[in-house]
Amino acid sequence: MGVRERNESAWLLPNDGTRTNHRLRRDMRQFADSDEIDLVIVGCGAGGSVMLQRLARAGWRVAALDAGPFWDPDTDWVSDEAGSHHLYWTDPRVIAGSDPVPMGSNNSGRGVGGSMVHYAGYTPRFHPSDFATNTVDGVGADWPLSYPELRPYYEQIEQELPVAGERWPWGDPHGYPYRPHPVGGNGEVFLRGAGKLGITAKVGPVAIVNGRFGNRPHCIYRGFCLQGCKVNAKASPLITHVPDALAHGAEVRPEAMVTQIAVDKHTGRALGVHYVTGGRERFQRARMVAVAGYSIETPRLLLNSASSRFPEGLCNDFDQVGRYLMVQGAPQTAGRFDAEVRMYKAPPPEVSTEAFYETDPAKDYKRGFSIQTVSPLPITWAEHVAAQGHWGPALREYMSDYVHWSCLGGLCEFLPRPENRVTLAGEKDSYGLPVARFSYSQCDNDRALARAAQSVMEGILHAAGADEVITIQRYAHLVGGARMAEDEQHGVVDRYGRSFAVPNLYITDGSVLPTQGSANPALTIMAVAARTAHHLAAGLS
Ligand SMILES: Cc1cc2nc3c(=O)[nH]c(=O)nc-3n(C[C@H](O)[C@H](O)[C@H](O)COP(=O)(O)OP(=O)(O)OC[C@H]3O[C@@H](n4cnc5c(N)ncnc54)[C@H](O)[C@@H]3O)c2cc1C
Ligand code: SF4
C-alpha cells in the first residue's frame, strides 16, 4: 500500500503558504463525555498520535486528550530560542539521586505533537541487538519482541515522516525513502574529521522533507528545528498523523489535563479518564484507555490513579511502575576552527555515526554510543560555554567567536536500573496532584561510555583541524518507566502494550521501552505504537 493510501496527512495540509488546515479542526468530530467511545488516549505526542490515526482509520470512535494547546505553526511558534519556552513541559518536578537529571527544555513537550514539536529530527532505528542486550551482552533486559517483528512498522513510519538519509550500514542495514540532505559547515567538519580517522559517518537519518512531500515544502535550512519548524518541513505528529486522524473522525481535545484513570473496583476494568479543562473537572467514558503522556507523566498518572483495588498505584501490584527509567548520556564537544563554520546555517541533525554502537570486546564496558552533529544556537551555545566555567569577559569572547565553532553530541546507552525511577513527591502542582520525583544515578558502565564518547568526539574535531576543544556533560532523551516484559513481575505491559493488571488499559509511548540503545527514540516509539494499533485494529486483543 502506498504511503498516501495509509496516511494522507501531508496532502491534507494547506498549499497556500499557511501551515494549518483550519477547516479540518473546525469540522472535527466532538464526542460527549457521556459517549462510551472505543478508545481514549492520554497525550497526543509520538506514541499517542500514531494510535489515534491508525484506529480512526480502522473506524474506531477515538479521542486524544492533551494537556497542552493545539498548535498553529503560523501564529504560535517563532524562529527564536528565547521565545520558544512555551513548547516545553515546565510544570514542577522534583529531581534526586547521585546524578540528577535537569528537567525542562531538554526533556518533554506540552501540546498536540508532543515532544516531537521541538525535537531535533534524528530518526535512526534501534539495532537488532537492542532487543536482546541481556542475552547478547549480559546487561540490561531482553524485550518480549524482536527486531524483525518491528521492522515492517519502522518501514511504514519512515515513509510517513518521511526520513531522508544515506543508505545505513549499521544494525540491520537499510535504505531511506528520501535522498540525504546537503550538509552545512558543522556536517562538513564531522565528515572531514571522521574521514581522517577512518571512522565511517553518514548523512542522516532525519525526518525533514528533502524535496516536497504532499503539501509540505522542502527544508529551508535555517536551523530552528528545536523551536518548532514554522515551515512544516520537519516531521511532528501535528502534521504527520493528526490531520489524517481528524479526516477519519478522530477528536483531539487540547488543554485537557488527565488527572486520573478510573477503574471499576468489581471488574478491574478501566472505565475512562478524569480530566480538567477550562478549570472544570470532567470524565470521558471509554471502552479502552491508552496512556501516552511521556516517560515521566505516564508513570506519574498511573501512581496518581491509586484506588482501593490498586492501593500502590494503578498496575503497580509488583512495584514496577516508574522503574527502569533511562536517560542517555549526552556529552557535547565543541571545536574551534580558524575558518568560519556557521553551524546555525543548517538543521542541527545532519551527520551521524553508529560505528561505536555495539559492544567492543576490547573495551572494559558494555554496549556503546553514537555521535551526531548538534549545532546549538546562541543561547544553548552560551550554556555550553558557561558550563565550562567561563563567565564575564571570557563568556563574551566565546560568544562573539560563535561562527568559528563546530559542535558534536554523543548519545551513550546508559543501562536500565530499577532504582532509577519516578515516584510521587509531597509537592503538588496547580491541579492539586502530587508531582513526579525522578531519582537518577549512573553506574560505572555509564560513566565509562561517556568518557569513551568524549574521547572519540575530541579526536574527530582535532583531526578536522580544531585548535581548541571543550566538552560538557549532558543528558538527552528519557524512555522507560512502564516497560514491556514477559510477565508482570518484570514489567507493566506485555509485548503489545497491554497492561498486565487491567485488560483494557494500554501504554503506547516511550515508557514501554525496556532498553534504549544509543539511537534517538522517537521513530521506535512510533513504530511500537503502530504495531500495537495494528494488533488492536485487527481484533487480535
Ligand atoms: C530538545 C529535544 C530534542 C530531541 N531530539 C530528538 C531527536 O532528534 N530524535 C528523536 O528520536 N527524539 C528526540 N527527542 C525525544 C522525542 O521527542 C521523545 O522521545 C518523544 O517525542 C517521546 O514520545 P512520547 O509519545 O513518549 O511522548 P511525547 O511526544 O512527549 O507526548 C506526550 C504528550 O502527552 C501530553 N500529556 C502528558 N501528560 C498528560 C496528561 N496527564 N493529560 C493529558 N496530556 C498529557 C503532553 O502534553 C504531550 O503532548 C528530543 C526531545 C527533546 C526535548
Ligand atoms: S532547518 Fe528545515 S526542518 Fe529545521 S526548522 Fe528550518 S525548515 Fe524546518
Mapped to the 3 state alphabet, what secondary structure does 377-442 carry? CHHHHHHHHHHCCCCHHHHHHHHHCHHHEEEEEEEECCCCCCCCEEEEEEEECCCCCEEEEEECCC
What pLDDT tens digit does each residue of the chain (541 aa) get?
Answer: 889 999 999 999 999 989 999 999 999 999 999 999 999 999 999 999 999 999 999 999 999 999 999 999 999 999 888 888 888 888 888 889 999 998 876 678 899 999 999 999 999 999 999 999 999 999 999 999 999 999 999 999 999 999 999 999 999 999 999 999 999 999 999 999 999 999 999 999 999 999 999 999 999 999 999 999 999 999 999 999 999 999 999 999 999 999 999 999 999 999 999 999 999 999 999 999 999 999 999 999 999 999 999 999 999 999 999 999 999 999 999 999 999 999 999 999 999 999 999 999 999 999 999 999 999 999 999 999 999 889 999 999 999 999 999 999 999 999 999 999 999 999 999 999 999 999 999 999 999 999 999 999 999 999 999 999 999 999 999 999 999 999 999 999 999 999 999 999 999 999 999 999 999 999 999 999 999 999 999 986 5
Residue 110 burial class via C-beta count within 10 angstroms: exposed 0-12, middle 13-18, buried 19 and up: buried
Q: Which atom of ligand 1 sits closest to the CA of residue 477? A: 15
Residues 498, 494: Cα–Cα separation, whole Å: 5
- Name the pairing type of β-strands 475-479 and 505-507: unpaired
Residues 245, 53: Cα–Cα separation, whole Å: 4
Nearest CA residue ID for atom 2, ligand 2: 219
- Ligand nearest the Cα of residue 80 is 2
Q: Measure Cα distances from 177 to 119, 163, 204, 290 in Å.
A: 21, 6, 12, 30
* 510 Cβ below 6 A of ligand 1: yes
Reading the block at residue 20, the C-alpha cell is 494549518
Are the C-beta atoms of residues 527 and 153 closer than 8 Å to each other?
A: yes
Residues 90, 103: Cα–Cα separation, whole Å: 8
Nearest CA residue ID for atom 2, ligand 1: 119
Alpha carbon of 121 to ligand 2 centroid (Å): 9
Nearest CA residue ID for atom 14, ligand 1: 119
DSSP class of residue 182? P
Alpha carbon of 235 to ligand 1 centroid (Å): 13
Task: Choose one of 76, 107, 108 to mutate for the ligand 1 pocket test, by most ligand atoms within 8 angstroms of C-beta.
Answer: 108
- Ligand nearest the Cα of residue 118 is 1
Q: Which atom of ligand 1 sits closest to the CA of residue 49? A: 25
Q: Give pTM, 2 decimals.
A: 0.98
* 377 Cβ below 6 A of ligand 1: no
Alpha carbon of 293 to ligand 1 centroid (Å): 8
Nearest CA residue ID for atom 8, ligand 2: 229
Residues 541, 538: Cα–Cα separation, whole Å: 8
Which of these, 425, 414, 413, lies nearest to 322 by C-alpha position? 425
Alpha carbon of 171 to ligand 1 centroid (Å): 25
Alpha carbon of 78 to ligand 2 centroid (Å): 12
Alpha carbon of 111 to ligand 1 centroid (Å): 9
- Ligand nearest the Cα of residue 71 is 1
Are the C-beta atoms of residues 523 and 164 closer than 8 Å to each other?
A: no
Q: Which helix (H) or strand (E) holds 285?
A: strand 280-291
Residue 541: the pLDDT is 54
Reading the block at residue 424, the C-alpha cell is 510521587
* 326 Cβ below 6 A of ligand 1: no
**CATH fold label, 3-537:** FAD/NAD(P)-binding domain (3.50.50)
